[in-house]
């Protein structure tokens, strides 16, 4: 029997033993910008959290699951009630949940999943596949749809690994978290190289179901490109793709499963492409004139096939905030200020580069990249600042907890666009965010970085840190998010480069994939999930087409 995991903060992100502190510089910066609220938004004790009463789980589902795998205690229901977007976290901290699964069922094998789905389909019980619960788009919100009850199907019991060291592939259980998968691979001398910021808790199944991208995806590839073959267990049987490097047999069914966000079935395991552990790693930081100059350097590198393993460019606002909050302000901050002074500049854009591979490959790539950054006007800040970024690369969500604790609104959203429209997308979304914050009386910072680049374009990742405004964050954030989605679509960007659709983007996807696209997805859903039990209200949500993103 595997129990659901209970090792993170139930009200938010992270290991409860890792403190969430802002530090003096960050406190000062927030104060200077009028964002410090002085509020105490600590969560209540878990036994004071109000949750909807549970509907008893149908006997057929209980017997398919095995009674020992069914958990109906409040703590488990609360831990599976929300993902990790701002509204999720606000609701948890307020201690009043609108939705909670009626039961959490831990799946431990493919046949068990098939039996549970069959029982849920005949009993009319909605099923929400749950990996790490790190969705930031409402992907794991336990909505019932037209059904009487809903279970959260936790895949924590699926943690197997089989390595084919001749083909350099591995079959990884869907429930393995990022660090668990990397540790199992490292024991055998390999790596997957997938490091999203949610690495600590997000799972292999979740990466596949959301087409995730990691911080090292320029070098190792996005998760979808790491998938060699995949399996999907649906209420109407199993779909699996051949383990082959490539096939020209029809449209790629692998792509139907990758990104299916739990609406068609459950991914029990994924065959991924792996690599030998890198023998050398080097991370460094640069400062360039401004965001546009940084993006141009990245475009040049991408189009010359010279991207390093990691390359990120922060705009001026993010550079300033990063230096105050995330990077060790000591070294990077003082170097940054010294260089600005020397060059008589007001501000600049931080560029982080990372190289992983054999020592010769790292050396070669580093020389190429450094030459191009210098040619683009970049100034070297050294390896200490790069290492500082590397060390703190998964710490951002802990800082967010510290901000939420003070009643500050913190949220992110991301998009991508071709190079010809990239600058316009940046300006349009930034302007929309700023103007909507102002319209709602919110004092805030809007910052952005580029973290995933291609020959034809790149992603943009926005972070908003602001006061909640007079009407409160729960009322105001949906308005800001709506303005951002509208701006993204008006500038030809995608609703999401890697966070996926979930519940939040579902009302907007027709604008991206068109009516035929929606109908094609609906036909697939009808084939694999005719009773509509799989993750209702996510990805495809015809009932809410054209409406606003949900408020809580």
Ligand X SMILES: Cc1cc2nc3c(=O)[nH]c(=O)nc-3n(C[C@H](O)[C@H](O)[C@H](O)COP(=O)(O)OP(=O)(O)OC[C@H]3O[C@@H](n4cnc5c(N)ncnc54)[C@H](O)[C@@H]3O)c2cc1C
Residue 50 is classified by DSSP as B
| Per CB under 6 A, 521 contacts ligand X | no
Residue indicated by tokens 């969560």: 43
Q: Among 20, 36, 476, 535, indicate the residue that binds ligand X (CB under 6 A).
A: 535
Q: Among 12, 206, 348, 493, indicate the residue that binds ligand X (CB under 6 A).
A: 206
Which residue in the shown chain puts its C-beta closest to ligand X? 206
**Closer by beta carbon to ligand X, 373 or else 416:** 416
407 C-beta neighbours (distance < 10 Å), count: 20
| Per CB under 6 A, 198 contacts ligand X | yes
Residue 517 contacts by C-beta under 8 Å, 6 or more apart in sequence?
509, 510
Q: Taking a C-beta distance cutoff of 8 angstroms, is the pair 204, 173 a contact?
A: yes
DSSP run (H or E) holding 269: strand 269-273
Residue 132 is classified by DSSP as S
At closest approach, how far in Å is the CB of 60 from ligand X?
A: 22
At closest approach, how far in Å is the CB of 200 from ligand X?
A: 9
At closest approach, how far in Å is the CB of 289 from ligand X?
A: 27
Q: Taking a C-beta distance cutoff of 8 angstroms, is the pair 91, 12 a contact?
A: no
Comparing CA positions, the residue from 137, 117, 136, 112 lying closest to residue 128 is: 117
Q: Taking a C-beta distance cutoff of 8 angstroms, is the pair 390, 443 a contact?
A: no
**Binding marks (x or -) toward ligand X, 321..360, rule CB under 6 A?**
----------------------------------------
| Per CB under 6 A, 157 contacts ligand X | no
Strands 190-191, 275-276: pairing is: antiparallel
| Per CB under 6 A, 130 contacts ligand X | yes
| Per CB under 6 A, 12 contacts ligand X | no
| Per CB under 6 A, 129 contacts ligand X | yes
Q: Taking a C-beta distance cutoff of 8 angstroms, is the pair 80, 135 a contact?
A: no
| Per CB under 6 A, 128 contacts ligand X | yes
**Closer by beta carbon to ligand X, 393 or else 479:** 393
Q: Taking a C-beta distance cutoff of 8 angstroms, is the pair 235, 118 a contact?
A: yes
**Closer by beta carbon to ligand X, 205 or else 469:** 205
Q: Supply φ then ψ for residue 129, to 5 degrees.
A: -60, 135
| Per CB under 6 A, 173 contacts ligand X | no
Q: Taking a C-beta distance cutoff of 8 angstroms, is the pair 232, 266 a contact?
A: yes
**Closer by beta carbon to ligand X, 232 or else 362:** 232
At closest approach, how far in Å is the CB of 201 from ligand X?
A: 6
Applying CB under 6 A, the span of 62-70, 129-137, 435-443, 541-549 interacting with ligand X comes to 129-137
Q: Among 20, 135, 228, 322, indicate the residue that binds ligand X (CB under 6 A).
A: 135
**Closer by beta carbon to ligand X, 286 or else 398:** 398
Residue indicated by tokens 């209702």: 536
**Closer by beta carbon to ligand X, 309 or else 440:** 309
Site for ligand X in 444-483 (CB under 6 A): none
Comparing CA positions, the residue from 171, 366, 219 lying closest to residue 286 is: 366
| Per CB under 6 A, 197 contacts ligand X | yes
**Binding marks (x or -) toward ligand X, 29..68, rule CB under 6 A?**
----------------------------------------
Residue 331 is classified by DSSP as I
Site for ligand X in 391-420 (CB under 6 A): 397
| Per CB under 6 A, 536 contacts ligand X | no
CA distance 280 to 295: 26
What does the angle CA 524 – CA 131 – CA 11 come to, to the nearest 5 degrees? 125
Q: What are 295's two structure tokens?
A: 């993006």
Residue indicated by tokens 């809580």: 552
Q: Taking a C-beta distance cutoff of 8 angstroms, is the pair 323, 330 a contact?
A: no
Angle between helices 359-375 and 291-303 (to 10 degrees): 130
**Binding marks (x or -) toward ligand X, 231..270, rule CB under 6 A?**
------------------------------xx---xx---
At closest approach, how far in Å is the CB of 206 from ligand X?
A: 2
Q: Among 82, 84, 191, 329, indicate the residue that binds ligand X (CB under 6 A).
A: 84
CA distance 175 to 130: 9
Q: Among 205, 294, 444, 493, indicate the residue that binds ligand X (CB under 6 A).
A: 205
Q: How far apart are the first and last CA of the chain?
A: 34
Q: Among 97, 117, 170, 213, indicate the residue that binds ligand X (CB under 6 A).
A: 213
Size of the site for ligand X (CB under 6 A): 39
Residue 545 has, within 13 A of its CA and on its CB side, a CA count of: 12
At closest approach, how far in Å is the CB of 104 from ligand X?
A: 12
**Binding marks (x or -) toward ligand X, 479..518, rule CB under 6 A?**
-------------------xxx-x----------------
DSSP run (H or E) holding 412: strand 409-418
Q: Among 203, 428, 466, 468, indicate the residue that binds ligand X (CB under 6 A).
A: 203
What does the angle CA 42 – CA 44 – CA 49 come to, to the nearest 5 degrees? 140
| Interface contacts to ligand X, rule CB under 6 A | 13, 83-84, 128-136, 139-140, 155, 174, 196-198, 202-203, 205-207, 209-210, 212-213, 261-262, 266-267, 397, 498-500, 502, 535, 538
């Amino acid at each position: 029997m595997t129990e659901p995991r209970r090792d993170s903060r139930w009200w938010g992100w992270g290991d409860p033993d890792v403190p969430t502190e802002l530090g003096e510089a960050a406190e000062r910066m927030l104060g200077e910008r009028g964002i410090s609220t002085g509020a105490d938004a600590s969560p209540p004790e878990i036994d004071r959290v109000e949750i909807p009463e549970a509907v008893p789980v149908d006997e057929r589902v209980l017997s398919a699951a095995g009674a020992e795998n069914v958990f109906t205690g409040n703590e488990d229901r609360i831990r599976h009630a929300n993902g990790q977007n701002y509204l999720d976290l606000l609701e948890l901290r307020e201690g009043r949940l609108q939705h909670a699964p009626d039961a959490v069922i831990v799946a431990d094998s493919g046949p068990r999943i098939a039996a549970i789905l069959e029982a849920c389909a005949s009993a009319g019980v909605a099923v929400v596949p749950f990996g790490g619960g790190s969705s930031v788009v409402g992907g794991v919100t336990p909505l019932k749809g037209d059904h009487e009850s809903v279970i959260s199907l936790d895949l924590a019991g699926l943690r197997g690994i089989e390595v084919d060291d001749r083909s350099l592939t591995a079959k990884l259980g869907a429930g393995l978290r990022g660090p668990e998968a990397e540790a199992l691979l490292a024991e055998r001398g390999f790596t997957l190289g997938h490091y999203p910021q949610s690495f600590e808790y997000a799972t292999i199944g979740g990466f596949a179901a959301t087409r995730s991208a990691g911080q090292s995806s320029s070098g190792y590839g996005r998760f979808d490109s790491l998938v060699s073959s995949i399996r999907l267990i649906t209420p109407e049987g199993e779909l699996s793709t051949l383990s082959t490097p490539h096939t020209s047999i029809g449209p790629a069914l692998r792509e139907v499963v990758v990104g299916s966000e739990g609406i068609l079935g459950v991914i029990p395991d994924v065959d991924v492409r792996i690599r030998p552990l890198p023998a050398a790693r080097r991370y460094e930081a640069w400062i360039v004139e401004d965001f546009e100059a940084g993006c141009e350097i990245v475009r040049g590198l991408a189009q010359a096939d010279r991207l390093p393993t990691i390359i990120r460019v922060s705009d001026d606002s993010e550079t300033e905030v990063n230096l105050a909050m995330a990077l060790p302000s000591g070294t990077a901050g003082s170097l940054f200020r010294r260089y600005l002074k020397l060059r008589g500049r007001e501000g600049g854009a931080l560029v982080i580069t990372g190289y992983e591979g054999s020592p010769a490959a790292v050396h070669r790539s580093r020389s190429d990249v450094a030459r191009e950054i210098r040619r683009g006007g970049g100034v070297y800040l050294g390896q200490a600042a790069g290492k500082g970024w590397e060390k703190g690369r998964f710490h951002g969500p802990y800082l967010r907890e510290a901000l939420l604790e003070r009643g500050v609104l913190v949220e992110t959203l991301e998009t991508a666009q071709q190079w010809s429209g990239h600058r316009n997308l940046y300006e349009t979304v930034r302007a929309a965010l700023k103007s909507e914050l102002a319209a709602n009386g919110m004092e805030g910072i809007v910052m952005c970085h580029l973290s995933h680049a291609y020959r034809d374009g790149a992603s943009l990742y926005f972070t908003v840190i602001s006061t909640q405004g007079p009407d409160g964050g729960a009322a105001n954030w949906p308005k800001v998010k709506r303005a951002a989605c509208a701006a993204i679509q008006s500038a030809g960007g995608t609703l999401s480069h890697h966070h996926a659709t979930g519940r939040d983007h579902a009302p907007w996807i027709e604008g991206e994939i068109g009516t035929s696209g929606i109908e094609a997805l609906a036909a697939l859903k009808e084939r694999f999930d005719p009773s509509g039990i799989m993750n209702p209200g996510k990805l495809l949500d015809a009932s809410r087409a054209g409406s606003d993103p949900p408020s809580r």
